[in-house]
Amino acid sequence: MVLVYQISGQGMAVAALVAAEVVPVLLLGPVAGVVIDRFSRKSVLIGADLLRAALVASLMWPQGLWHIYLVAAGLVVGSTFFAPTVQAVIPSLRSDDERLAANSVNWSTGRLVQIVGAAVAGGLVGVIGTAPAFAVNAATFLASAALLARLRIPPHAGQLARDATRGLAGYLGDARAGLAYALSDRFVSRLLTVQALASLAVGATSAMLVVLAEVHLRLPPAGFAWLIGAIGVGALIGPLIPNLLARNYRDARWLFVPYIVRGVGDVALATFTPLPVALAIMCVYGLSASAGIVVFNSAIQDAVPEHVRGRVYTLLDVTWNAMRLLSLLVGGLLIDRLGVQSLYWVGGVLLASADVLGLVVVSVADDAEQINRRL
């Protein structure tokens, strides 16, 4: 994002970058879900890491905005296969009682690296430039692939099935079966609706944080890294909340509390300019979001059968990114006409509305009973 904004100086250019990261998810999500459920998940993880290592390394010699957009799209192709596979694999490595803790460790480890990475990247970009940051990033993908090669991941039911229909018809049939399951399941179908509204609220505000940092908060490029680092600090602590206070995380209402926290934070971020206030808000962002994501992943892993888990996770990703793309289009136009602050005010109110919708869904007596029994 910093590289694009340095080259173009336009909010719409940043929005276009994030759009390039969204489109592959929409196109490949259904295919990725079938691949994850059909084939060796270990091979999928390693292949995604190797692809991303090569793409990131190419940004050491950026050829222009088109190159950055192309690489961003390619990186998301890798992530479209990698992230849902990780979530599908965790239940096979840990028992049901260990699931919440396993998801917490997985999330906190990533956020710890985010803190270190933000500090390192901010220093490298500020002192030397973006190329060394991309070189380090490429090396981390190679290290991840090497570690995964040594990890034993048990075969799953879909991989072991011998009667799966081959060819395009088989893939389309598997994709339709996954969609039919998600739409018929009370919990997953309702969660899709709330997630869509939440994505419409946060898609643009997340992408335009670099613009807010430079225009509203008046920070140097390295200041964007400080904000990302503050999110990482909060996200590192966040998983402690459900582990200490929400052992009954199967209460679905835990999924929606973070929405209103971030909604209020977006409005506050657009109102105040002191850096300490912004850093505190970013830290609370990370705190609430990470607690919600840990509960979300644990709930989905509990609720969804193993043989369709990859397709359900990719469907959630597709839904989130489809609304994120719409949010980017509206948000990019909004900030170029009315300013970046207006985007955060609108986004905050909309996100709070997603929270209310989610809480209303689970507060209806019969629906709450069905969802909690399902979880």
Query: C-alpha distances in angstroms, 190 versus 13, 45, 313, 361?
Result: 34, 29, 14, 8
Question: What pLDDT was estimated at residue 315?
Answer: 86
Question: What pLDDT was estimated at residue 339?
Answer: 75
Number of domains in the chain: 1
Question: What pLDDT was estimated at residue 50?
Answer: 94
Question: What pLDDT was estimated at residue 51?
Answer: 93
Question: What pLDDT was estimated at residue 5?
Answer: 64
pLDDT tens string 316-366: 888 887 888 788 778 777 777 787 777 878 888 888 777 777 777 655 434
Highest mean pLDDT pick, 149-163, 248-262, 277-291: 277-291
Question: What pLDDT was estimated at residue 47?
Answer: 93
Distance CA 156, CA 153 (A): 9
Distance CA 347, CA 202 (A): 6
**Does the pLDDT at position 268 exceed 70?**
yes
* Residue 148 pLDDT level (bands cut at 50, 70, 90): very high
Higher pLDDT, 345 or 252: 345
Higher pLDDT, 375 or 345: 345
On whether residue 77 sits in a domain, the answer given is yes
Question: What pLDDT was estimated at residue 121?
Answer: 73
Question: What pLDDT was estimated at residue 371?
Answer: 47
* Residue 54 pLDDT level (bands cut at 50, 70, 90): very high
On whether residue 158 sits in a domain, the answer given is no
C-beta atoms surrounding 62 within 10 Å: 17
Segment among 43-52, 153-162, 169-178, 338-347 with least mean pLDDT: 153-162
Question: What pLDDT was estimated at residue 157?
Answer: 52
On whether residue 225 sits in a domain, the answer given is yes
On whether residue 161 sits in a domain, the answer given is no
Segment among 75-79, 201-205, 360-364 with least mean pLDDT: 360-364
* Angle formed at CA 355 by CA 345 and CA 186, multiple of 5 degrees: 145
Alpha helices in the chain (DSSP H): 2-8, 11-38, 41-58, 65-93, 99-127, 130-149, 157-160, 167-184, 186-207, 209-211, 221-237, 240-245, 257-271, 275-303, 309-338, 340-363, 365-374
pTM, two decimal places = 0.69
On whether residue 25 sits in a domain, the answer given is yes
* Residue 45 pLDDT level (bands cut at 50, 70, 90): very high
CATH number of the domain at 224, please.
1.20.1250.20
The residue assigned the tokens 């300019």 is: 273
pLDDT tens string 277-301: 888 888 888 887 787 778 778 778 7
Higher pLDDT, 9 or 34: 34
Range of the domain at 217: 2-150+167-374
Is 188 in contact with 304 (CB distance < 8 Å)?
Answer: yes
Question: What pLDDT was estimated at residue 156?
Answer: 66
* Rounded CA Rg of the chain: 20
Mean pLDDT score, 87-94? 83
* Residue 123 pLDDT level (bands cut at 50, 70, 90): confident
On whether residue 324 sits in a domain, the answer given is yes
On average, the pLDDT of the chain sits at 77
Question: What pLDDT was estimated at residue 368?
Answer: 44
**Does the pLDDT at position 162 exceed 60?**
no
Query: C-alpha distances in angstroms, 287 versus 59, 253, 265, 292?
Result: 31, 17, 12, 9
On whether residue 162 sits in a domain, the answer given is no
Mean pLDDT score, 130-147? 88
CA dihedral angle for residue 28, residue 32, residue 33, residue 36, rounded to 10 degrees: 180
Amino acid making up residue 95: S
Distance CA 253, CA 357 (A): 11
On whether residue 288 sits in a domain, the answer given is yes
Mean pLDDT score, 1-22? 67
Query: C-alpha distances in angstroms, 280 versus 228, 268, 300, 312, 342?
Result: 12, 11, 30, 34, 21
